[in-house]
Amino acid sequence: MSATAVAAPKVRAAGVRKSYGNLEVLKGIDLTVDQGEVLCLIGPSGSGKSTFLRCINHLEAIDSGRLWVGDTTVGYEQRGNKLYELSDKEICRQRTEVGMVFQHFNLFPHMTVLENLMEAPIRVLKQPRRQVRERALGLLAQVGLAEKAGSYPKSLSGGQQQRVAIARALCMQPSLMLFDEPTSALDPELVGDVLAVMRNLAETGMTMIVVTHEIGFARDVADRVAFFDGGQIVEVGPAADVITHPQQQRTREFLAAVR
Ligand SMILES: Nc1ncnc2c1ncn2[C@@H]1O[C@H](COP(=O)(O)OP(=O)(O)OP(=O)(O)O)[C@@H](O)[C@H]1O
């Protein structure tokens, strides 16, 4: 054993495959995401980025390969021809450790902003109301929305709703945050505030996997970038290398088209 302890990867995928009917969406994904790392997934529409994210959070089951989420937990493991799946209880437990932010904020419309944040920690984690309330108010301050605690989602802008959605995910105290195109439903002038919240979160050391078309964000904030195309990772490496000096022709074409 080496003198320096090395933390286990937060997420590890090995040969992950997923099809919808005859459409093979993930064609053998191999990827490791380290503790505290920010990884951005970029690539054309339909290349499988969201599906991969959804597999990590057990919103989709993989067909084959292996997927570990967390330090020790096996997500899915193919043993011979038999696919081992987590029990519903294990999935629930793992989901509480993984926060997910979607393109469309998915806030509960009938609850205030503060109630949106408090709902899952109280109902799912059974944490004391007073403690959750304190944490929720702190998170709202962190995303610049302390004064909106008593408002209903429909009275907020899209950017504010997305910042609430991020705070809501964080209120569960996750150790991994997944973002699925968090800014693509926003008007351009609202994107900056959401990206600033994500940038601050990255600086706290949170492990983050972000599907995004915001190439500037990926270049400036990600530790590594993975370029997906046709259900495969074509290129993965340090953000500055993949975005500024892509090695693969396909990556170069994609970046030229989106810039
Ligand atoms: N539940 C589903 N049933 C059938 N096909 C699906 C399903 N979800 C995704 N797909 C298909 O899988 C392919 C990959 O979709 P996915 O959303 O993972 O791509 P993506 O790279 O995230 O694209 P985008 O940037 O447009 O979100 C697409 O062809 C999509 O139509």
For the segment 175-183, the average pLDDT, to the nearest whole number, is: 94
* pLDDT the model gives residue 2: 42
Write the ipTM: 0.95
Find the largest Cα–Cα distance for the chain: 56
Residue given tokens 């505290």 in the structure block: 36
Report which residue type is found at 101: V
Residue 35 is classified by DSSP as T
Helix axes 158-170, 188-203, angle to 10 degrees: 20
Which tokens in the block code for residue 251? 């990556």
Q: Do residues 150 and 182 lie in contact, with contact meaning Cβ atoms separated by under 8 Å?
A: no
Give nearest CA residue, ligand 1 atom 26. 45
Give nearest CA residue, ligand 1 atom 25. 45
Dist. CA 51 → ligand 1 center (Å): 6
Q: What does the CA dihedral 146, 149, 150, 154 come to, rounded to 10 degrees? A: 110
Which of the pair, 208 or 84, is modelled with greater confidence? Answer: 208
Mean pLDDT of the chain: 89
For ligand 1, pick from 25, 63, 232 the residue to mutate: most ligand atoms within 8 Å of CB: 25
Dist. CA 11 → ligand 1 center (Å): 21
Residue given tokens 């920010």 in the structure block: 38
- Decide whether any atom of ligand 1 lies within 6 Å of the 47 Cβ: yes
For ligand 1, pick from 18, 20, 215, 228 the residue to mutate: most ligand atoms within 8 Å of CB: 20
**Is residue 8's pLDDT more than 60?**
yes
Give nearest CA residue, ligand 1 atom 17. 50
71 to each of 36, 94, 220, 258, how far by Cα in Å?
13, 11, 27, 36
Q: Which of 23-27, 82-86, 244-248 has the lowest mean pLDDT?
A: 82-86
CA atoms within 13 A on the CB side of 103: 11
Nearest residue to 55 (alpha-carbon basis) of 85, 34, 81, 82? 85
- Decide whether any atom of ligand 1 lies within 6 Å of the 69 Cβ: no
pLDDT digits (tens, 9 = 90+) for 42-62: 999 999 999 999 999 888 888
* pLDDT the model gives residue 222: 94
**Is residue 233's pLDDT more than 50?**
yes
Which tokens in the block code for residue 145? 């929305």
Which tokens in the block code for residue 203? 């600086």
* pLDDT the model gives residue 135: 97
Q: Which positions ≥6 away from 8 have C-beta within 8 Å?
A: 35, 71, 72
pTM of the complete model: 0.92
- Decide whether any atom of ligand 1 lies within 6 Å of the 70 Cβ: no
For the segment 134-149, the average pLDDT, to the nearest whole number, is: 96
For the segment 199-216, the average pLDDT, to the nearest whole number, is: 94
**Is residue 3's pLDDT more than 50?**
no
Dist. CA 26 → ligand 1 center (Å): 10
Dist. CA 46 → ligand 1 center (Å): 5
For the segment 80-109, the average pLDDT, to the nearest whole number, is: 79
Dist. CA 22 → ligand 1 center (Å): 13
